[in-house]
Amino acid sequence: MAGSTVGAAQAYPRTYPSENRYQIVDNYTWTRGAHSLKFGMDFQTTQDWTNQLFNGNGGYAYSNVLNFAKDFSSPGQRNCGTAALPTPCYSTFSQQFGNPIKSLRTTDVNFYVQDTWKVSKRVTFGYGVRYEKAWLPQPTMTNPDWTQTGSIPQKSKNFAPRVSLSYSLGDRTVLRAGYGMFYARIHGNLLDTLFLGNGKYQTAISAGPSVVGAPVFKDILSGQGSIPGGTIQLNFADPKGFRNPYSQQATLALEHQFTRTVALTASYIWSRGIAIFTQRDLNLGNPVGPYTYTIRDAAGNNVSTYTTPVFDFNQRLDKRYGKILQIENGGQSWYNALALQLVKRFSHGLTGQINYTWSHAIDDANMQGASWNISSTFNNATFNVRQVLRQRLGTLRHHHSGQRETSQRNHERRRHGGQRRIPGRHARLQHAQRCRRLEPRALPAGGNRQRRPDLQRGRPHYAQHSVRRTRQGQPLV
């Protein structure tokens, strides 16, 4: 019950979004000599229409079961507080008013170009860049008290470079490295918050039990005319620094084939998140106190104390409003991992894998972002998982449809390289024959571990993919 909200379902009634999306995607591949150049674009525009007033019927939040029981057993009464100032027992009451219909259009355009260069028999080098641009929907109303609510800033410099390297140390060992930048989109929930955060199109309130005009359990407010003073919440983006969060990711992997059927990959994976969304309450005012809390053990004995400054609701800077939250890019995260993968290929098309990952994730933007206005120290991330062990057994006999290679040289290799004809009565081949096709393997810049680390003797920077062909050499797809 602690921290739970009591009341009608907050998300209902609603009409599911009516979404119209138009998209154009085109990609090209051009191969010449030792270079394989790829480039393309992706354009899409999405129109979302929604009919929903979230929390339109109000809700009560309680800190513990006892307080809820007091209000539930005596609805309409004030059973907490003091004798001089009795109050209801809930922690906060929230409700939203306004126009339930929203129509948002988001347009995205993305371009990329990359080249895979086979420098030598042992070295393959990949490099490229991606550009992303989004046109975000803008609020249709502005709060004149806080003009920041009238716009959502947009940046136009989202260039993301990528680079990778594959180096053969011998017939059975390959060293791979990769680095890349990756931008996150401004997600729909945040757009919805910023679009509606002006307190005009839709008005969200949050009131404590001692606020003048706050309801008692189980009443709700009848309309905007009955909103208690100083309870309206505003949300807007930082007008100077708001931008897309992005991550830098890198990996270093060593692959070795011990035997024809056993291969091991050891990878170091690194990722850093930058400009993660946080929120800062601009209406807190100066802290008061300090206030000392007593810490008790399970038996109720006082064992320690904790002293901290506190913020008084009556000391807020703009008393016309409650929280005034500015969305910023103040968070960062770090992820480091060691990944081991052992692959064993058996007969009859079976393969077994054992994967072990040791990892550590830390950040300073856990969940609510900068700990509600107070910069926190670097703590373990909320979803930090130190060790993961996975095992898998599967089959290699599957239909495979890969990209067609455009050069004549690769076409000839696909027709003749590795195909084995069986003489005698087996030449009729009522069953499909398995053969091998070689494709260059460049480590993705994002740091994905290779799933098939088995290597071809003499060409360790090429991967073997299992395909099935008929007698005429046509793939079964």
Q: Is residue 326 part of a domain?
A: yes
The tokens 């060593």 sit on which residue?
254
Which phi and psi angles does 371 have, rounded to 5°? 50, 50
- Digit-by-digit pLDDT tens for the chain (477 residues) are 555 677 767 777 777 778 899 999 999 999 999 999 999 999 999 999 988 888 888 999 998 899 999 999 988 889 898 888 899 999 999 999 999 998 999 999 999 999 999 999 999 999 999 999 999 999 999 999 999 999 999 999 999 999 999 999 999 999 999 999 999 999 888 998 999 989 999 999 999 998 988 999 989 998 888 899 889 999 999 999 999 999 999 999 999 999 999 999 999 999 999 999 999 999 988 888 788 999 999 888 999 999 988 888 888 899 999 999 999 998 999 999 999 999 999 988 899 999 999 999 888 876 544 333 333 444 565 555 556 666 665 544 433 333 333 344 444 444 444 443 333 333 333 333 333 333 334 434 444 444 433 433 333 333 333 333 333 433 333
Amino acid at 338: L
133 part of a folded domain: yes
Calculate the alpha carbon distances from 177 to 267, 322, 357 in Å: 9, 51, 18
Tokens at 206, concatenated: 């949050």
Flag whether 249 is in a domain: yes
Residue 306 covered by a domain: no
- 427, part of any domain: no
Q: Is 391 within a domain? A: yes
In this prediction the pTM is 0.71
Q: Could you tell me the CA-to-CA distances from 59 to 62, 100, 220 in Å, in that order?
A: 10, 18, 8
Question: Which residues have CB under 8 Å from 118's CB, separation 6+?
Answer: 34, 35, 124, 440
* Secondary structure (3-state) at 314: helix
In what helix (H) or strand (E) does residue 7 lie, and over which residues does it extend?
strand 5-7
Report the distance separating Cα 351 and Cα 239, nearest Å: 54
Number of domains in the chain: 1
Question: What type of residue sits at position 304?
Answer: S
Domain that holds residue 126: 5-283+318-415+432-469
Report d(CA 454, CA 398) in Å as an integer.
17
Q: Is residue 296 part of a domain?
A: no
Phi-psi sector, 448: left (phi>0), alpha (psi -120 to 50), beta: beta
**Residue 109 within any structural domain of the chain:** yes
Alpha carbon distances (Å) from 360 to 140, 162, 371: 43, 24, 21
Name the 3-class secondary structure at 69. helix
Q: Is 427 exposed, middle or buried (0-12, 13-18, 19+ CB in 10 A)?
A: exposed
203 contacts 196 by C-beta, under 8 angstroms = no
